[in-house]
Copies of this chain bind each other. A is one copy, B any other.
Amino acid sequence: MKSDVGSLARPLRGIIPPMVTPLADRDALDVAGLERLVEHILAGGVHGLFILGTMGEAPSLSHRLRHELVDRVCALANRRVPVLVGIIDTSFVEALGLAHKAADAGADALVLPAPHYYPAGQPELLEFLRHLVPQLPLPAFLYNLPNHPRPMFDPETVQIAAAEMPGIVGLKDSSANMTYFRHLQFLMADRPDFALLMGPEMLLAETVLLGGHGGICGGANLLPRLYVDLYAAACAADMPRVQTLHRKVTELARTIYRVGRFESSFLKGLKCALSCLGICSDFLAEPLHRFRGPERDIVQRHITDLGITTNGFVSP
């Protein structure tokens, strides 16, 4: 493990946006957009940056492009915040290769899902971790993928893995299953150094109010300050402010993320909005595709109605 692992706060707290990947084409980064996006997000006061997750379209990208992205983002972030790198791959060998790339580029941690292709029981998931984690060159967060049914790490599996493997330092839960999250918190109560981070941003406020450590909020690509402020309000149990900001988060979910018919409309809406604001390209790698004109017009109208600018959220 690299020498400055101590640089990663334990537990990691706050808002760590799951960065979208600005693309010029299916195998080319939008380099200028990437630079603008990183600066836009960091200007919001976030506490970390998570690249190559589900929101970053990692599974759709070539390994070459993933490696390029790791290099560029680590250089752009330049140690201002910790960089977390998702190693979503169905192949153990490929996931390990990406982990080494991340360490070489100066990333701070990895984000590791359960294998998602073959059905696996919890004993198999635990054995998988026992094989992989000791070989990882960086600390790792476990990752429950969105879109159930997919394999999840049972609370008991997390507890055992965290006790056995010092390299596992937290978990990102995108399952949207709040009962699961509460069980997990209960089991990990004696591990205050273990970060429990929420995926779905609609659940950020209550996560933090009841002791969770923060959120991997997709909307923080667009409005990083909103989520940072909501996190702070929840930490302070400032309930009126929590209510107000939570409502703004919900407004995004009711507008920009709901254009279009399919489950991917969250990601499409987010990239479209970033493009409307001039931050980066809205190209999406197959099998997804960007919104066409009519849908883009709706997104633009929502942006105007909500008073969103590149400097943040100005609601009426």
Chain A residues close to B by CB (< 8 Å): 26-27, 54, 59-65, 90-94, 97, 114-121, 124-125, 127-128, 131-132, 147, 149, 176-179, 182-183, 186-187, 189, 200, 202-203, 205-206, 209-211, 237, 239, 242-243, 246-247, 250-251, 253-254, 261-264, 267, 285-289
Contact = CB atoms under 8 A, between A and B. Distances in A.
Contacts of A128: 286-287
Nearest to A250: B186
A67 B4 CA distance: 37
A99 to B, nearest CB: 14
Given A202-B179, A250-B186, A90 B261 contact: no
A94 B119 CA distance: 23
Given A250-B186, A261-B121, A115 B286 contact: yes
- The copy count of this chain in the complex is 4
Contacts of A114: 287
Contacts of A243: 210-211
Contacts of A62: 91, 93-94, 97
Contact of A117 (B59, B131, B203, B261): B59
Contacts of A90: 59-60, 90
A134 to B, nearest CB: 13
Contact of A26 (B92, B247, B250): B92
A262 B126 CA distance: 14
A93 B262 CA distance: 23
Nearest to A94: B62
A287 B125 contact: yes
21 contacts: A54-B118, A60-B91, A63-B94, A65-B93, A90-B90, A91-B285, A92-B285, A92-B287, A114-B287, A119-B263, A124-B289, A127-B286, A149-B149, A182-B202, A182-B250, A183-B202, A183-B253, A183-B254, A186-B254, A205-B210, A206-B209
A187 B178 CA distance: 21
A246 B117 contact: no
A207 to B, nearest CB: 8
Given A119-B262, A124-B264, A127-B287, 18 more contacts: A27-B93, A59-B90, A60-B117, A60-B118, A61-B93, A62-B97, A64-B93, A90-B90, A118-B263, A119-B263, A124-B289, A128-B287, A131-B286, A176-B179, A183-B250, A183-B253, A186-B251, A205-B210
Contacts of A127: 286-287, 289
Which 4 pairs between the two chains have the least Cβ-Cβ distance? A59-B90, A206-B206, A119-B263, A62-B93
